[in-house]
Structure 1
C-alpha cells in the first residue's frame, strides 16, 4: 500500500499537467531586430497548421490566446526579415524572438528567456549585441568581455588575459559556463579562464556583489556565458570560418553543425588557433606564441514537460610568456625594466619555448528540467577536469620538466525550484554543492607552489520578487554557504604540514526596479557578499612565472621589516573572511534614436586580501620582483556609462566610459593594478545593399586610457639595489605600498572595422592599433619589460549553410 501511495505522489504533478486539455492556454513574448536589439513592431506570429495568429504591437510584444495543444510550431515573419519556425510548448518560459534582416548572414534566433529573479531585474547587467559578439568571438575570452561596459582586463603578457569587474578579478568573479560554475586555477594574475568564445553565443555580466543565486565569492560580479541550446525541428545547418591576423601571423578555423528532430536535437562545434610571436611597434615580443584547440557537443531530448540536456566540452592551449620577463641576476632585472628594447629579443617564430603554460579543461554536464503548472524544477550535475603545467627557464634536463604541475577535479550538483506565485511573490529556491580535489603531480623537482587540498562547498538560496506598484518591482534574496578544506603540503625544508579550514556565512540582496516613465528605468541594488581566503591566498610560496610570491601564511617579517619564509597558522596570523557591502544603482534611458545607461557603485570590503610588492629576490632560477600577500579594509567606487545614438538610418555612435577609484582604508594607502579611467567612442555607417553585397558596415573606434594617477609611490629596482649596497633598509620605517615603475603615460588607440555579406558568406576586416601606437597598459604585469602589441590587421571569412 505504501509503495502505491508513493507512486501516486510522484506521478501527481505529471498527471495534473496531462489532464489540462482545455483551450484557454496563452503564450506571449517579444520580437526584436537581431542587428540592433530594438523591438520589431507589427510582425506576424502564426500557429503552424491552424488559422490562429496575431500581429505584434508597436513595442514588438505579442499575445496568443485560445491555444488547445501543449506543443505546437510557431511561425514568425516580417517583411524584409528571415522567417523563423520555433517548436514551443506551454511549459517553457516566454520566448524572446530575434529576427534577422534578409541582408545579413546572421540567422534569426529564439531565446527562451528565463526571468532570472534576483539577478537580472534590479541588478545592473551588461552584454554584447549579436553583431558585436560575432565580430569579436575569434579573440580570447578576456579580449571579448572587455567590450562590455564596466569590464576591464588584467594581463600577464599578451596571451594571459582575465576579466576585471569594478576593479576586482580572479576568485572574486564567478564565471558561469553554460550554467556551471567554471572551476579552474583562478588564484593568480597569471591564470586566464580556459574558455573559447567561439563556442558560445552570448556573454552577460552582472555587476553586483549580491548575486546570491550563483554562489559565494562574487564580490565583483558574475559573468554568464551561454551557448543556445539545440533547436528542435530544424534541417541540417551550420557554419565554417577562418580568420587571419598579421600581428603574430595567427590563423584560426572554426566549424559548427546542427540538426533538430521532433524530440531530439544536437549541436557540434570545433575551433583551432595557431599564433606566432607578436610584435610591438618597435620590436619583436619574443616567445609570445599561442596554440589552442577546443570542441563541444550539445544534445537535447524533449518530451512535453521534460527536457534533458547533455553538454561536453574540451579546451587545450599552450601559451608563451615573454622571454624578457626572466633575468639571470638582479643587475639584469634592473636593466631589463629600463631597457628600450627587451633583452633576449629574437626574430619571429611559431616556436613556444620556456617560460610557457600548457593547460587543458574538460567539462561534462547533464541537466534535466521538469515544467509543471506555473513551476519548474531543474537538476544539474557537472564534472570538470582542469590540468595546468607551468614551465620555467631551468638548467639541464629540468628545463623540460614543469615547475608547477596541478590537476584540479571538481564535481557540482545544483537543484533549483521556481515556485508558483505565493501571496503575489514569484521566486526560486535552490541548493548547490561543489567538490574540489587539487593535486600536485609528482616529478617537478621543486617545492610545491600551492599544497594539495580537498574542499567541499554547500550553499542554499531563496530569491523572491513582487510588484509593489504596476511600475515598481521589489526583489529580495538570501543565501547561506559553508566551506571546508583539508590541506596537506610541504614547506621549503620539504617537511609536511597539515591544516583544516572551516568557513560559513550569509549573504543577502535587496533591490528595486522603477519604471519612471516609458523608456526610463531606475534600478538600485544593495547587498553583501563574502569570500573565504582560498588555499593559494594562504600558502603560495616561491617562483610563479615572472615573479616570486608568498601567501599570508608563508612568510614572516622581523622588526626591521626583513623578510623570511615560514609556515604559519591562524593563531599566529589571523585571517578573516572577506566581507563586501556593495550598492549599485543604475539609470536607463531609451527611445527611438537614443539609449543610455549609467551605473554607479560603492563597494566596501572588510579583510580585503591583496598582492603587495615587497622587494626583489635573487634565486637559482633568476632574479624576480617579490610580491607578498596582506589583508586590509578597502573601498572601491566608480561608474560605468554606455550609450548609443542613431543619428540617421545609416549613421550611429556608441560611447562607453568607466572609472574605478580604490583605496586601502586601514592604512590610508593606494593599490597597484587598479584599472585607469577609460573613454571610448565609435561611429558606424551601414549600407543595406550595394554592388551585390548586403549588410555593409564600416566603423571607426577611438579608445582613450588615462594615466593612473591614483597609484602608490615608486621604488625602482636600481634604488633597491643601491640601498642594499649601502646597507639601508628602505622599508624599515615606511612599509606603505609601492610600485617598481611609474604608471605608464596615457594613450589613445584607434581601430577600424568593415563587414559585408554576400549570399551565405560573411566577410569581416578589422585593424587594431591603427596608428601603431607604442604604449604600456597599467594592468599588464609585463609593462615592466615591454610595450603592448602594435598594428594588427584581422581578416575573417565565414560560410553559413
Structure 2
C-alpha cells in the first residue's frame, strides 16, 4: 500500500492511495490413493485498488470530500486439484464516484449529506451443467445516498440521526458456486440470475455521560428494508459417493430488519470499571412471510475491569461473561436441526504495557471459554457437526519502535 498527497492551500488536500494484495487459498480433504496432500481447492486472487480523494472547505463552514475509486480483481483456479472448482475463474472491475459534505448550522448542530454512483463488471469463465464452456458477463450500476444530523444537546449528551440507502452487487460465489465447500462441509449452489441488494436504513444513536465521568452509556436503534437480500437457504440433503451433505442455495428475498444495541459503563473508583452491554436483532422474510433465516440471537455481556499504573508501567485485568439466548424466531421446518440452546461464556484478559528505551511494548494473554462450556452457536455452520471450541488461550505482543509514549 502506498499513499501520496498534495496541499494546494492550508486547508484542502488531495490524497492518492494505491494498494495491492495477493491471496493464495488452499483447502484440503481426506482423499484416496495418497492424494490427501493435493488441495481440493486451490485459488489465487490478485487485487488492485486505487482511490483519489479531494478533502476541501467551501467557505468558512461547508467542508467534505469528493473522490473516485476503482478495483481490479482476477481470480484463477490452479489446475491439478482433480475437483471441479467451487468458484469459477473470473475478473471483476468496479469504479465509483462519491461526495460527502458537512455543514455546521450552530456550534451544537451539524448536517451531513452524501451520494455515490458505482458501476461493476464481472466476467466469468466456467462450464455449465452440460459441461459447455461459457463466458457470461454481468454488469451492475447502482447509486446510494445518505442524510444525517448530529446534535450535541449538552456537553454530556449527543444524538445522531441518519437515513441512507445502500447497495451490494452479488459476489461471484453467490452467482456461480457449484459443489462442495470444504471449509463448511456443505454443498453450495449459486444463482446467476441474482441482482443487486438495495437497502434503505434509518438509524438513531445517542451517547451520554455524567458530569463527574463515573457514568456513561450509548443506545443505538436501527431499522432497514432490503430488496433482493441474498442469503444461503437450506435445500435438503444430497447423497454422494462420499456420503450425505447438506445443500444450501443462494436465494434472494425482500426482508425487514430492526434492532437495538445498548451499553452502560460505571466507574465506581478510578481503578475499576463495570460495563454492561446487550443487543437484539429481528428479521422478517417478506417474500415467505416468516422469520428470516440466520439472524443473530439476543445477547448480553457483563465485564469488570481493573487497571493500575505505577511509574511508566501499566497493568490491566478484565473479566467478562457473555450470555447468548436460544434463537427461537426461526422459519418453521427450514433448517436441518433445531436451533442450539443458549449459553454463557467466561473470558479473562491480562495486559502489561511499559516502555523499553525509546520503544514501547504491550504483552497480553487472553482466555476464552475458560469453563470449557460445551455449546453451539446458531450462526456457526459447523454446529451441524460438532460443538464450538473449548478453552482457548491467546498470547500476543506488540512492539512500537520509537514510540515511548503510551499506545492508544
Q: Taking structure 2 as the reference length, what is the TM-score of the superposition?
A: 0.90
| Residue 551, structure 1, aligned to residue 187, structure 2 | no
The corresponding residue for 1:696 is: 315
Question: The residue matched to 2:261 in structure 1 has which SS?
Answer: strand
| Residue 619, structure 1, aligned to residue 246, structure 2 | no
Aligned residues: 392
* Cα distance change on mapping 1:797 and 1:613 into 2, 3 Å: closer
The corresponding residue for 1:743 is: 339
The corresponding residue for 1:400 is: 37
Matches within 5 A, 1:499-510: 499-510=136-147
Question: The residue matched to 1:537 in structure 2 has which SS?
Answer: helix
Question: The residue matched to 1:372 in structure 2 has which SS?
Answer: coil
CA contact (8 A) 1:610 1:630 kept: yes
The corresponding residue for 1:389 is: 26
> Among 91, 94, 98, which residue is 1:461 paired with?
98
> Among 26, 30, 51, which residue is 1:414 paired with?
51
The corresponding residue for 2:5 is: 369
| Residue 776, structure 1, aligned to residue 397, structure 2 | no
The corresponding residue for 1:436 is: 73
For 1:435 and 1:401, how far apart are their aligned partners in 2?
Answer: 29
The corresponding residue for 1:588 is: 207
CA contact (8 A) 2:255 2:292 kept: no
Deviation at 1:523, TM superposition (A): 0.1
The corresponding residue for 2:110 is: 473
Question: The residue matched to 1:783 in structure 2 has which SS?
Answer: helix
CA contact (8 A) 1:539 1:552 kept: yes
The corresponding residue for 1:4 is: none
| Residue 523, structure 1, aligned to residue 142, structure 2 | no
The corresponding residue for 2:349 is: 753
The corresponding residue for 1:787 is: 387
For 1:766 and 1:536, how far apart are their aligned partners in 2?
Answer: 35
Question: The residue matched to 2:390 in structure 1 has which SS?
Answer: coil
Question: The residue matched to 1:708 in structure 2 has which SS?
Answer: coil
Deviation at 1:423, TM superposition (A): 7.0
CA contact (8 A) 1:613 1:626 kept: yes
CA contact (8 A) 1:411 1:434 kept: yes
CA contact (8 A) 2:178 2:188 kept: yes
* Cα distance change on mapping 1:521 and 1:455 into 2, 3 Å: same
CA contact (8 A) 1:447 1:492 kept: no
Question: The residue matched to 1:778 in structure 2 has which SS?
Answer: coil
Question: The residue matched to 2:105 in structure 1 has which SS?
Answer: strand
State the structure with more CA Rg: 1
CA contact (8 A) 2:308 2:315 kept: yes
The corresponding residue for 1:711 is: 330
Deviation at 1:428, TM superposition (A): 1.1
The structure richer in strand per residue is 2
* Cα distance change on mapping 1:629 and 1:794 into 2, 3 Å: closer
The corresponding residue for 1:513 is: 150
* Cα distance change on mapping 1:523 and 1:454 into 2, 3 Å: same
CA contact (8 A) 1:693 1:756 kept: no
* Cα distance change on mapping 1:385 and 1:596 into 2, 3 Å: same
For 1:766 and 1:496, how far apart are their aligned partners in 2?
Answer: 51
* Cα distance change on mapping 1:773 and 1:397 into 2, 3 Å: closer
The corresponding residue for 2:301 is: 680
Deviation at 1:528, TM superposition (A): 0.4
Matches within 5 A, 1:250-269: none
Q: Which runs of 5+ in 2 are unaligned?
A: 402-408
Deviations 1:676-735 (A, max 9, x none): 11101111223334xx99433333211111111112234xxxxxxxxxxxxxxxxxxxxx
* Cα distance change on mapping 1:608 and 1:794 into 2, 3 Å: closer
Deviation at 1:797, TM superposition (A): 6.4
Question: The residue matched to 1:396 in structure 2 has which SS?
Answer: coil
Greater relative CO, 1 or 2 (CA 8 Å, sep 6+): 1
For 2:187 and 2:270, how far apart are their aligned partners in 1?
Answer: 56
> Among 273, 277, 291, which residue is 1:656 paired with?
277
CA contact (8 A) 1:447 1:491 kept: no
Deviations 1:506-551 (A, max 9, x none): 1100100001111111001111011122222111101111001111
Q: Taking structure 1 as the reference length, what is the TM-score of the superposition?
A: 0.47
For 2:389 and 2:173, how far apart are their aligned partners in 1?
Answer: 31
Deviation at 1:505, TM superposition (A): 1.7
For 2:187 and 2:307, how far apart are their aligned partners in 1?
Answer: 51
Question: The residue matched to 2:254 in structure 1 has which SS?
Answer: strand
Q: Which runs of 5+ in 1 are unaligned?
A: 1-364, 554-569, 715-737
Matches within 5 A, 1:187-586: 365-373=1-9, 374-422=11-59, 424-545=61-182, 546-553=185-192, 570=193, 575-586=194-205
For 1:498 and 1:774, how far apart are their aligned partners in 2?
Answer: 47
For 2:86 and 2:293, how far apart are their aligned partners in 1?
Answer: 23
For 1:477 and 1:620, how far apart are their aligned partners in 2?
Answer: 54
| Residue 639, structure 1, aligned to residue 276, structure 2 | no
For 1:431 and 1:764, how far apart are their aligned partners in 2?
Answer: 40
The corresponding residue for 1:273 is: none
For 1:369 and 1:800, how far apart are their aligned partners in 2?
Answer: 25
Deviation at 1:623, TM superposition (A): 2.0
CA contact (8 A) 1:447 1:494 kept: no
For 1:481 and 1:679, how far apart are their aligned partners in 2?
Answer: 38
The corresponding residue for 1:604 is: 225
Segment of structure 1 superposing worse, 790-799 or 660-669? 790-799
RMSD: 2.2
* Cα distance change on mapping 1:413 and 1:602 into 2, 3 Å: same
Deviations 1:583-629 (A, max 9, x none): 11100102311221111111210011111111111123332111112
CA contact (8 A) 2:307 2:315 kept: yes
* Cα distance change on mapping 1:424 and 1:635 into 2, 3 Å: same
Deviations 1:142-193 (A, max 9, x none): xxxxxxxxxxxxxxxxxxxxxxxxxxxxxxxxxxxxxxxxxxxxxxxxxxxx
Question: The residue matched to 1:742 in structure 2 has which SS?
Answer: coil
